[in-house]
Amino acid sequence: MTNLHQLIYALSDALDLVGVDDMDHGKRVAYMAIECAKELGFGKDEMIRLFHASLLHDCGVSSSKIHEKIMLNLDWEGADNHCIRGFQLLNLSPKLKHLSNIILYHHTHYQVLQDMEIDRQTALLSNLIFMVDRVDALCAQHHINEPEVALLTFSHKIQQEAQELSGSFFDPLLVDTFLKVSEREVFWFSLEQDNLHRYLSDYMISLDSKEIDLDELGEIAELFAYLVDAKSHYTADHSLDVAKLALFIATRMGLSPDVCKKIEIAGLLHDLGKLRVPDELLDKKGKLTDEEFDVVKIHAFATHQILSQIEGLEEITQWASQHHEKLNGHGYPYHTQDSDISLPARIVAVADVFQALAQKRPYRPNLKPLEILQIVQEKVANDELDAEVVLVLEKDLQKCWETAITHSHKIMPNE
């Protein structure tokens, strides 16, 4: 069993990676929303709903370019595109579906929102997230212009800018609440990274555990696979298809249903850390330089760092983060070798290589089944991939290839 609060908090780390040079946006939004909600006297269930929605509010954003637009502009044409993608994503998971309308409207102006036929509490939560989201954008803009100046110094300017949008962008009640809670210096000090993480960690401890089973975990993992795969149109469906192929191989090898399910989830989450990689590197048409490849390499480690925070996910974390390890010890990032690489991790690694070769990339066309098989067999000969796992590919090559190129477009593409 997995604690849903831990899972959402850890996955918010993945969303925060999209900022590349501007981490913790989702967590700052969550902190400010919680402080406002406390002042408004929200009940326990609504506080948890707000906490989860705040952490996941930008789940429709996987592009670092779009994240930059969000942080550098107060408003822009098409601002609701990522809200629609987030709404579509959250509707894929029964456990998170109740957050979808909050995300859908979190860039809708108050003067529009108040005339819409939607639940009033949903409207209030959406507009609260919108307000503190834009407050964080204002903080970022001031910090970029004067990085050496403490955020507290800008506080009155930011309060004034928020007040000017009362009644148009934001509900006046919410603006008044923000102005009240942000009068305390501690409000601004708590936005600093170490203080922010400590605050949210303490808040998490105060919540009753909410357990989810393996199937529910898989549904949420699929949601994040869609987010990762949307990072570049060249990697569309990669995580989803790696998961399907890994599950097919594991089943053929006679592994237990629970292990097969965990391998599938590891496939869905293996590239979670790739959200940290700048868009231009994933879309580069030529070969990466050594320096650029060093940037890309961190994604496997980032996947481990994100997933390792979730209790009960130890096996899945290891299998997912070892997908670039090689049996000869020359993989990355740990240089794990041979007996220290479990069979499930070997299956995910083979599925990752096979699917990537079956998919068109900016530097080469997609390859046919026999071409892929020749390459993976060479990797077996070089003691990189597991021979027993690759034998499954050989025995059912066409089926493996078809499984590796299944396309599942369930959400709108990036802008």
Element (H, E) at 282: helix 279-282
Q: How far apart are CA 373 and CA 353, in angstroms?
A: 10
CB atoms near residue 405 (< 10 Å): 14
- Which residues, at least 6 apart from 338, have a Cβ–Cβ distance to it below 8 Å? 327, 328, 329
Residue 357, token pair as written in the block: 């070769």
**3: DSSP letter:** E
Q: State how beta strands 2-3 and 211-212 pair.
A: antiparallel
| Buried b / exposed e along 232-259 (16+ C-beta atoms within 10 A) | bebbbbbbbbbbbbbbbbbebbebeeeb
Entry field: residues in the chain: 415
Is 274 annotated in the active site? Answer: yes
**Torsions phi, psi of 79, nearest 5?**
-65, -25
Asked whether 58 and 25 are in contact (CB, 8 A), the reply is: yes
Return d(Cα 61, Cα 351) in angstroms, integer: 26
The tokens of 373 are what? Answer: 């098989």
Q: Which one of 261, 262, 274, 284 is the catalytic residue?
A: 274
Q: Which structure tokens are listed for 350?
A: 């083979």
- Give catalytic residue positions: 274
